[in-house]
Amino acid sequence: MINLLNPEHFAELKAARLNFRLRRYIVLAVVATVGIAAIYGGGYWSASNEYVLAEKQNVAAQAELKSHEALKNRLAEYRANLVIADKILDTQLVYSDFLVYTAQAMPPNTILASVGLSTKSLVATGPEKGVMPLEARTKSYDDALRLKESLEASPLFSDVRLKQTSTLDKIPPTGIEHDYPYLGSYTVRLDLIGKVKR
């Protein structure tokens, strides 16, 4: 086949074909770039929606967890109270009998003002086990000392300590402060086992 085209025209045709191919490559590159950008954009949008949804679920789960935490704390407190009640029942302490035995241990001219009997001291371990405060009113300081000795002699108590005695600066003309002007503060260790039982 003989090429009858002018060499300049032939060069222009060759350049036109090359331009057409280059344009096609550029269009394909732009389409590919747009496609890749669309894929990445869609992935980012989807991941961002998933993140927002996960955050909402996390907030809801945290709120539910807090409500369960309050219930869990109440259950733990209830369980601790049951353990304390079980330990108290194991010692078979009867409060009215305890008061009767305490009254029997008190000498004349003394009255019981208050007793700080708590479950914490009853179930405590170590040196705090059974230690409780006790206050009594007496007619004199010597009566306060006699009460300490009488409580020490009682099988119900041990380690009796007289912390302080006090009187009012102005004693009223009537009432319990007039008849028993001295207030003694004691700490005693309550020995429960086998002593105060029903």
pLDDT in tens, 47-74: 999 999 999 999 998 888 888 888 888 8
Cα 4 to Cα 143: distance, rounded to the nearest angstrom? 145
Among residues 143, 132, 133, the alpha carbon closest in space to that of 182 is found at 143
Residue 170 pLDDT grade (very low, low, confident, very high; cuts 50, 70, 90)? confident
193 confidence band (pLDDT: 50, 70, 90): very low
Q: Which helix (H) or strand (E) holds 28?
A: helix 7-91
Structure-block tokens of residue 36: 């890749």
Is residue 197 pLDDT above 50, yes or no?
Answer: no
Structure confidence at residue 123 (pLDDT): 64
What mean pLDDT value characterizes the chain?
83
DSSP-derived 3-state class of residue 69: helix
Give the contacts of 7 (CB within 8 A, at least 6 positions apart).
none
With contact defined as beta carbons under 8 Å apart, do 116 and 136 qualify? Answer: no
Q: Give the C-alpha separation, 138 to 71, whole Å.
A: 49
Percent of the chain with pLDDT over 70: 85
Q: What is the pTM of this model?
A: 0.50
Specify the CATH architecture of the domain 92-190.
2-Layer Sandwich (3.30)
Question: What residue has token string 């241990």?
Answer: 105
Q: What is the Cα–Cα distance from 75 to 73, expressed in whole angstroms?
A: 5
Angle formed by the axes of helices 95-105 and 141-153, nearest 10°: 120
Break the chain into its structural domains and give their ranges.
1-91, 92-190
Q: Are 132 and 172 in contact (CB under 8 A)?
A: no
Q: Are 178 and 171 in contact (CB under 8 A)?
A: yes
10 Å CB burial of residue 42 (0-12, 13-18, 19+) is exposed
What the block records as the tokens of 61 is 């789960």
Report pLDDT digits (tens) over 127-164.
Answer: 777 788 889 999 999 999 999 999 888 888 888 899 99
